[in-house]
Structure 1
Amino acid sequence: MRFSIARLLWPAFFLTLAACSDPKTSTPQQQPAAPAPAPAASDTVATAPATPPAPDTSAVQNVAAYLAGQRLSHGSALQPLARQAAWQTYAANADKSWEKYHAARTAKIEQWAATELDSVRRQSPVIFYPFSGPDLLNVVTMFPTSQTYVLVGLEPVGTVPHQRTLENPKLFTMLKKSLWSVLEFSFFRTNDMAVDLKSVELDGSLPLMMLFAARTNHQVTAVRYVQLDAEGQLTDADSATISRPGLKVIPGVELAMRDKAGREKKAYYFSADLSDWKLGQTKEGALKFVRSLGPLTTYVKSASYLMHKSYFSKVRNLALERSRYILQDDSGIAMKYFQPVANWQLTYYGTYKRPINLFAKHYQPQLTRAYTDTLQRVRPLPFGTGYNWRQNDSNLLLAHRTKPVQ
């Protein structure tokens, strides 16, 4: 049975303004009766307009829950699809996978971060996550109390899935396959993800971000397609612009959500190449937008060592200049760029070994010296992260800027 997804995304109808009759009061009995005046049309007075209800946001939340294999709201038009055996099987398997993931990773990250990132979290209203792809999962787990998340990747923005996509029998197999690497290893295998998701018309990062929002106990309250101009100004866009943006337009999406504590948040995703050459073409619109948000906390993980390279200097300099804190694995900013050293307080976690073979040339002797320095207290890291994803092989660096961000 088919249902139009456009129906799901319409706002609720507004209430009709109520009106009531306001009759004249009668005179007291002890006073002489006065002739009753003829009723006038103006005697019927409209009450103050009722406050219109908020738009119906359950539709986008139900799409997120459907993708995540979670329970839908009682009146959802997706209920007939959720009653089918294919979704029921997918949902049961998804619950098992996420239960295992939360036990192995989420619980450990939360326990570690509650101690090690306590003060960082309090000073991190805005998180910048370059080279993220759709990885809303890790950033909201690491920084659950932040108000704004800005994710940037090469993957297209994507749209809220159409009904035909949700009915596609291949959907659940492809979702499971695409999520496998992030649940097992903590990072996306981007090339595999692009092929898998195109086969079921999941056209970019947004569907997976909606799924991650649902699985991290967030309610998706709105989805807005946006774009950035050359000056970093955020304006509305439509799905056509997002799908086929002009050369100097940076397409994006704004995901509004509410966590289980009732905190309102916004997650932005922009599809942008952050190399110096491409930023020159777009006049650094993406970086100008990030700069406009005030002091940052920058989070970097599994970033292909791009900011080690000379031609990613603009995004690297932005992070170094505008961040109170930088939390990264060794694929983030190379140690040689944290200059002058007096400007940074560096705390090391876990174990630093050589990068995986694919990135072997980005080995940092300076980082090895820091991890083996007997005067340097390296702190434990009780979970795996990044390309060296096993717990005993992973590392994180917390860099705290000692001078105020200008």
Structure 2
Amino acid sequence: MSDSDPHIEAEPPFIQSPLKARKGRGAVSNLQGRYETLIREDIDDGWLHTDTDIGDVEADPSCDSPATSDAEQDNAPAWKTEVIEERAKTILSRNQSPDVPFSISLNPYRGCEHGCIYCFARPTHSYLGLSPGLDFESRIFAKVNAPELLRRELAKATYVPEPIALGVNTDAYQPCERDLRLTRRVLEVLHECGHPVALISKSSLIERDIDLLADMASRRQAMAAVTITTLDPAVARTLEPRAAAPARRLRTIRTLTDAGIPVGVSVAPVIPFVTDPDLERILAAAADAGAINAGYVMLRLPWEVSPLFRQWLEAHFPDRAARVMNRVRDMRGGKDYDSSFGTRMHGEGIWADLIRQRFEKAVTRLGIGLRSGRFKGLDTSQFRAPSITSAAGSSGATDKAKNKKARGSAGQLELF
């Protein structure tokens, strides 16, 4: 992007200083920006080169050029991510929500470096006395004992296996995972135990763990979903500033598919007048890349997410900010958000129905499945409880574990 873009120079009426749309952290109130110089040594996230592997969707290498002079960058504070080690007391979260396809989830991290401005998990940092804006993006809590806690949970005599959703609240493959490898170690425990897992991510780092996931998938114990919000790299780089480029995510779908891992696409969130025009193109590109299943979620703006997102709109799309919020409220009963079960994911009313019809027609035309219901197809019958004393990734189990009754079934694959 350049400074000549009118979307960049516009000044929201409730902001004192003019905002500049620069690649960096999603919380646009940080006027100096964050991470103006990006280094990608350990993983290819699609931003440093043109990616032409799939279709005509390309990452624009010019998007990494900051919208400010070298002198301005030199004066900017050297913001860095702070990773805080946390020894969690529990690791598995259970829910009874009819709106999600899983009952058990595991999140190795609190907060997420991807900085997606719309992230529904941002308010969780408020529970810690931190901001849902920059703190959520830059103060990451790593549950360093997650693999050990999982091993203890699975070893309980009362534990009944069912698929675990990994990385739902915050991305399990965010940048700090490259060094910490908590997600990798969690997968090693699940792989050792023959326990089914479903993952969702925006990161190409998931490819690192193909060795584990492919083996588990061959036994119907692993599936994945890749979130794609837009195919426009210029929008993605401000909306999801530290996630992989859209074209790179499509290549990740292809890579996982070629490795025998069933992959779906999650079009989330659908933002009226910003990303909703891309809906059919995203589904078509994902299907071409090998996705076998698809789902979508309308924009959700709970609690502190709403003012952050509205500020982002004013900074990047001032010409349509009012239209976007009016349409959101049309689908949310006149409010920015309605958390009622049954409608919170897709909204309600005529506009929500139109999006649903577009999605269903596209999926039918492309011949891919609809996401619905609970996980189907992941096999829990091969589960064997681990020995608490054994190392993650080791083979074998204690006699007690071998004699533990395994429960579960396998059926037609259905991704979340």
TM-score by length of 1: 0.29
The structure that is helix-richer by fraction is 1
Greater share of residues in strand: 1
Larger Rg: 1
* Structure with greater contact order relative to length (CA < 8 Å, sep ≥ 6): 2
